[in-house]
Amino acid sequence: MPIERAPAKVNLTLHILGRRDDGFHDLESLVAFTCFGDVLKLSPGVEEGLSVTGPRADTAGPLAENLVLKAARHLRAEMPDLHSGSFTLAKHLPVAAGIGGGSSDAAAALRLLAQANGLDLHDPRVMKAAAATGSDVPVCLEKRARVMRGRGEQLGPLLRLPPLPVVLVNPGVAVETKSVFAQIGLKPGEASGYGAHPAIPDGADIDELLRILRKSRNDMEDAASVIAPVIGHVLAVLSAARGCKLARMSGSGATCFGLFADRRSASRAARVIRRDHPGWWAKACVLR
């Protein structure tokens, strides 16, 4: 049975350039991926469907609205003779959390379907299905660090980042992306005026990358913190952890991340956060 991992996506930066006339927002974001996440399996040759298991199965929402099935439907629209099957999703990541869980699941489905149908991931039909499924799905297809632009459909080259020890913390509060954009309040055609995104060189070392990241930001952080004030608490806890070099919110929240000096510091911080805040989800890993 073919298996694909659907790792968490972390927005190390997220700059909003403005809102387009079609209502979507133009973004620039440096994205990296964790070494853990959801797991998706495909049983080919049977009726297309989806079952959800795992510790967060009850948070996955209605199956008919799941992005795994939406991705399959969009690829079938491009390829009517698509060979598909039944998916089984082991759900481990928090939902509506700013770490692209659903988008990464959809990308994993497209990888499985591409493999089953002899398609390259760069096949225009796969890319079109990814963009139609969701703004974050294209960047999740190759699950490698890169800058995404536009509404997510414009992908920069793959980037070699240094290993980044990180702690992800979610306080258990779901934050809808559309609510954060509504709080920001940009009108169609309006530019944000927040400032340009710094260039991200390929192969930067950890010190250079941290200098660049400190010059950047997440333009959704303030608005999300109004909707979910606990985000400010999470950022304060991460910033105060020993060895933390930078704390920031990922995506539209409420998950926040802290970049650490080394893996030992990250693991220690995650243990302390889980001990002191048993209702929070905290995970140490390395971004790539």
**Would you name the residues annotated as active-site residues?**
9, 136
81 — alpha (psi -120 to 50), left (phi > 0) or beta?
alpha
Q: Which is it for strands 49-53 and 85-90: parallel, antiparallel or unpaired?
A: parallel
Q: Which amino acid is at 196?
A: A
Contacts 24+ apart (CB under 8 A), 43-46: 43/1, 43/85, 43/86, 43/87, 43/88, 44/2, 44/83, 44/84, 44/85, 44/116, 45/83, 45/85, 46/85, 46/86
CB 98 within 8 A of CB 60: no
d(CA 188, CA 77): 30
Q: Give the count of alpha carbons within 13 A of 202, CB side only.
A: 7
Q: Which amino acid is at 214?
A: R
Q: Which residues of 222-238 are buried (b: 16+ CB within 10 A; e: fewer)?
A: ebbbebbebbbbbbebb
Burial class of residue 160 (count of CB atoms within 10 Å of its CB; 0-12, 13-18, 19+): exposed
The CA-based angle 228-230-234, given to 5 degrees, is 130
CB 43 within 8 A of CB 2: no
| Phi, psi (degrees; rounded to nearest 5) at 165 | -65, 130
In the numeric block, which tokens belong to residue 215?
């010059």
CB 220 within 8 A of CB 251: yes
